[in-house]
Every structure is written in C-alpha cells, then in structure tokens.
C-alpha cells in the first residue's frame, strides 16, 4: 500500500523531533504534527526555563556572600517582569531553532491537534494523513489536584508566565519539581512553605541525600511541613487564597504552586481506535523496540514513562529511527543514567542508592564526605556539601555516586562516564585530583564510612 508518509510523528518535543530528523536523514518521508509549541516540555515549560529561574534565584545569596570577599553590594531589587520576559524571548529563539532543525532535515511540520483514526491514519484539522508507522511522542502534563478549590492552584506550566510574582506561596508536593520551585520562590524573595503529605520529600533518592538536602533547604529559609497536605482552597475577593490543611491549620497566601505529579498527555489522541494498551498509571505499553500492541504504532519519551528525562527521550528517538529505517537493534540501556535536581543545593545522582545496594544482599562499602566548600569559609555561608560513593566489595566497582551541593550535575556527569566504563574504587583512588575543588573529594575518599551486607 502507498502511504502519504513513512513515519507520522505526533508531538514535536525532544523525542519526536529527534526521531523525525534521524528518520528523514535515513531516507524516510516524515511529518510531525504539533498543536502547542516546538521543543516540548523541556524547552518551553521544563528544564530550560526552570534552569534560568534557578540561576536568577541564586543571585540573592551571591550578593550576600560577596561581603566576605570585600564587595559592598548596594540595595538590590528583583524585577519579575524582566526575568519572565527575557526567559520568554530565549524560549521563542529556541522554538525557532527546533523549526529550523525540522525544515533542514526535510521533515514536514503540520500545525494542529492530531488524532489517530485507525492504525495507519492520522487526522489533523479536517485532513487525513496516512503513514506506514505512527509515533506517539506527546509527553506529559501536570496533574491538577482533586481537592475543592484545586482550580485556584498554579502548576509548572503556569508559573513561567505569571502576571505578578507572589509575595507568599505554598508549594504542594514532594517530588523534584516541588523542591526545585520551593528554592526558586525562596531565592527570588518569596515567603515560601513546602507541604508534603509524606515524612520526607524526594522519595526514591538516596536516603542520606534526602535527609541532608532537607536540612539544607530549611537552612536556606524554606519552611518545610511534612506529613501535611491541603484539604481545600477558598479564594478571597482580593485574590488571596485561604488554604485549609489536613492538620486543622490554615494558611493565607498569594499563590499555591501544586506539583503532585505528571500524567501522559494521551487524552484526545484517538488511541481507543487502535489496539494500544496502557498500564495502570496511564503510560502507553511498549515492547523493547517501542512498539505498542498495535504493530504500526510506536511510542516513546515521557508518555511511556521508562525514564522521564529529556536526554532519554532523545536517545529513544534516535534508537527507534535507526531501528525502523536502518534495521538496527534497539540496545538502549537505562542503567547508570545520571540525573540532577536543580534544587538548592543541587542534587545529582548516578547508579544505585545505598538502600538499593543493601537490598541486593551483596557486600558493599560507602565512602562519604560532608564539608563546607572553600568559597563558604570566607563568605560566611553555612551551606554544606555532601558527596558519597557506593562500591561493590566483590568487584571493587563503583556502582553509585551521589552529591548534594553546588554544581552537582556538572560533577556527576563526568563520573557517569567512568561508572559506565566500569571504573573501580582503585581507579578513583589512583586518579590525581584537581585542587582546590569540591570534585576532588571523589578521588580522595580513602576510608569507608560504613559497610553493608558483610
């Protein structure tokens, strides 16, 4: 059968654009449909604007720390509209770059909402398009809270375009988005409280790192309320919000930022017209080749929920395109993927946590170091850094690396190469450090702090 396209991609985010570009370069005729913005979550309402906001929020601490280094900093004032609008200009520039990437690769961009009519047909507007393969790469969407008054909350889509910056905010949630934005609001001068229904935020991260970061975040000025959640929100005539908590207390704030998870953005895609199946949390089920139960339909990125990270979506998009149009095997490994949380202090993590090492039953050793970075000895800042390595005692291989402190992501990225290459603790010990840096701690930790399963 002759189709209009070899590959029709729904969603022009990181994974969709990468798959489209590589497939086109391999000789396929490709179209991409997008109804919102080029670049997906990461470029528009995720990684990129969030990191710009983090940079802005760190300046207040830098101004304060400068005094210890002899700088007399005068009166400072944060201007929300300047940050917001400069961020928007940068995002629009990146949107243009993504458009150029598709155009230069020979990919046709179709603006509009796409829905699947049947296993080989996609409808955009009033027009139908046929394709040998259909790829669903629509990403995720913030989950709205279900309590009364939940419509008065803002989420990680809304926050980048607020008309006015709040003076007092409640942040609801215990995941990385909640913790990052608590730091952003606090750093930009907002009276900030983070509420989380559990006993400690960042579930799934290394326990020692979680406890350390909790202490450091609180030290920075964020009020932490664990085992606490919101029951309802009432909006006053003046726009302020009265927030009823499950412990009987109330808060009156200017804004509630809710980060209670993300869900696959599959509503309205017409997947009910196919054999595509979902798991209990709404992600599309795929096999090792990203193929759904409908043989002509594939899915990748956040919508399948394997690792909801931009670099993972990029790698998946490349692997799928090469599989479909060059016949390559998909050999993508999800092991030892380094990740970072841009809270304050930054967190970066790689490999297994201490708890996961313990669960294996195999002997392991923990090497850790907590210290005040050199910069803070003069600035007077009380912020500290924590680094740790987890070593398999039988092989001497480093199987986990974790850090909480400035530039954690930059440092762990380098370690990711070593760990993926199978570096041992002896390799680390025999590496000469760069002095004076925080990173050198990873090659100078000689004595184990503790050992497990021995």
Q: What is the pLDDT of residues 313-333, one digit of tens each?
A: 999 999 999 999 999 999 999
If asked whether residues 182 and 236 sit together in one domain, one would say yes
* Mean model confidence pLDDT for the chain: 97
Q: What is the pLDDT of residue 61?
A: 95
Q: What is the pLDDT of residue 302?
A: 96
Show Cβ contacts of residue 236 under 8 Å, excluding neighbours closer than 6 positions: 242
Q: What is the mean pLDDT of residues 225-236?
A: 98
Residues 78 and 191 in one domain: no
Res 84 pLDDT > 90: yes
Q: How many domains does the chain have?
A: 3
Active site residues: 435
Q: Which pLDDT score is estimated for 454?
A: 80
- pLDDT score recorded for residue 356: 98
Q: Does the residue 367 lie in any domain? A: yes
Q: Are residues 316 and 359 in the same domain?
A: no
The answer on 352 and 284 residing in a single domain is no
Q: Which of 227, 260, 293 is the last residue of a domain?
A: 260
Q: Is the pLDDT reported for residue 367 higher than 90?
A: yes
Query: Which tens digit of pLDDT belongs to each residue from 168-200?
Result: 999 999 999 999 999 999 999 999 999 999 999
Q: What is the mean pLDDT of residues 412-440?
A: 97
Mean of pLDDT values over 198-206: 97
Q: In this structure, are 403 and 368 located in the same domain?
A: yes
Q: Which of 296, 331, 326, 297 is nearest to 316 (CA)?
A: 331
What's the pLDDT score for residue 330?
95
Q: Is residue 373 part of a domain?
A: yes
Query: What's the pLDDT score for residue 24?
Result: 98
Same domain, 244 and 177: yes
On whether residue 11 sits in a domain, the answer given is: yes
Q: What is the domain extent for residue 372?
A: 339-452
Rg, C-alpha atoms of the chain: 24
Mean pLDDT of 80-98: 97
pLDDT at 203: 96
Contact (CB, 8 A) for 367 and 389: yes
Q: What average pLDDT does range 63-78 have in this prediction?
A: 95
285 domain-assigned? yes
For residues 55 and 105, membership in a common domain is answered with yes
Whether residue 166 is predicted with pLDDT greater than 90 in this model: the reply is yes
Residues 345 and 92: their CA atoms lie apart, in Å, by 29
447 class by beta-carbon count within 10 Å (0-12 exposed, 13-18 middle, 19+ buried):
exposed
- Shared domain check, 271 and 134: yes
Tokens 């990181």 found at: 14
| pLDDT score for 176 | 97
Local confidence band at 105 (pLDDT 50, 70, 90 cut-offs): very high
- Is residue 333 situated within a structural domain? no
Confidence category of residue 1, pLDDT binned at 50, 70, 90: confident
Instruction: Give the model confidence (pLDDT) of 259-296 as tens digits.
Output: 999 999 999 999 999 999 999 999 999 999 999 999 99
Mean pLDDT of 110-137: 98
Q: Does 154 share its domain with 189?
A: yes
Q: Report the distance separating Cα 277 and Cα 272, nearest Å.
A: 9
Query: Are residues 119 and 46 part of one domain?
Result: yes
For the whole model, what pTM was predicted? 0.96
CATH of the domain at 434: 3.30.390.30
Residue 380 lies in a domain: yes
| 11 and 81 housed in the same domain | yes
Quick one: 221 and 277 in the same domain? no
Looking at the domain assignment, is residue 331 inside a domain?
A: no
Q: What is the pLDDT of residue 158?
A: 97
3-state SS track over 268-318 = CCCHHHCCCCECCCCCECCCCCCECCCCCEEECHHHCCCCCCHHHHHHHHH
Q: Which of 233, 260, 287 is the last residue of a domain?
A: 260
């Amino acid at each position: 059968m002759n189709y209009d396209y070899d590959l029709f991609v729904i969603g022009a985010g990181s994974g969709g654009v990468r798959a489209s570009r590589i497939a086109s370069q391999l000789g396929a005729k490709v179209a991409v449909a997008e109804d919102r913005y080029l670049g997906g979550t990461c470029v528009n309402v995720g990684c990129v604007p969030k990191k710009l906001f983090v940079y802005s929020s760190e300046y207040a601490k830098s101004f304060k720390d400068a005094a210890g280094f002899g700088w007399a900093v005068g009166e400072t004032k944060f201007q929300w509209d300047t940050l917001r609008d400069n961020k928007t200009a940068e995002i629009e520039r990146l949107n243009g770059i993504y458009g150029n990437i598709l155009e230069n690769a020979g990919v046709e961009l179709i603006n509009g909402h796409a829905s699947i009519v049947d296993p080989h047909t996609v409808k955009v507007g009033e027009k139908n398009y046929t394709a040998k393969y259909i790829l669903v790469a629509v990403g995720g969407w913030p989950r709205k809270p279900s309590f009364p008054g939940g419509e008065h909350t803002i989420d990680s889509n809304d926050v980048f375009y607020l008309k006015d910056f709040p003076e007092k905010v409640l942040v609801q949630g215990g995941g990385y988005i909640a913790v990052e934005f608590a730091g952003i609001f606090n750093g930009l001068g907002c009276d900030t409280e983070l509420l989380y229904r559990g006993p400690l935020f960042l579930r799934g991260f290394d326990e020692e790192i979680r406890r350390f970061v909790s202490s450091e975040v609180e030290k920075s000025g964020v009020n932490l309320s664990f085992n606490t959640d919101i029951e309802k929100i009432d909006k006053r005539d003046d726009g302020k919000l009265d927030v009823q908590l499950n412990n009987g207390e109330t808060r009156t704030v200017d804004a509630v930022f809710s980060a209670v998870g993300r869900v696959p953005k599959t509503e309205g895609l017409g997947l009910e017209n196919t054999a595509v199946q979902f798991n209990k949390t709404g992600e599309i089920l795929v096999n090792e080749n990203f193929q759904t139960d409908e043989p002509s339909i594939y899915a990748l990125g956040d919508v399948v929920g394997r690792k909801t990270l931009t670099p993972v979506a990029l790698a998946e998009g490349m692997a799928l395109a090469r599989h479909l149009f060059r016949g390559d095997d998909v050999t993508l490994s999800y092991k030892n993927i380094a990740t970072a949380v841009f809270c304050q202090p930054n967190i970066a993590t790689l490999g297994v946590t201490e708890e996961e090492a313990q669960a294996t039953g195999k002997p392991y050793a923990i090497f850790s170091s907590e210290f005040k970075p050199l910069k803070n000895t003069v600035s007077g800042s009380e912020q500290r850094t924590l680094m740790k390595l987890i070593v398999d005692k039988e092989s001497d291989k480093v199987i986990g690396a974790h850090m909480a402190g400035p530039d954690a992501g930059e440092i762990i990225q380098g370690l990711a190469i070593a760990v993926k290459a199978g570096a041992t603790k002896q390799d680390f010990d025999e590496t000469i450090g760069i002095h004076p840096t925080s990173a050198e701690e990873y090659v100078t930790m000689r004595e184990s702090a503790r050992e497990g399963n021995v």
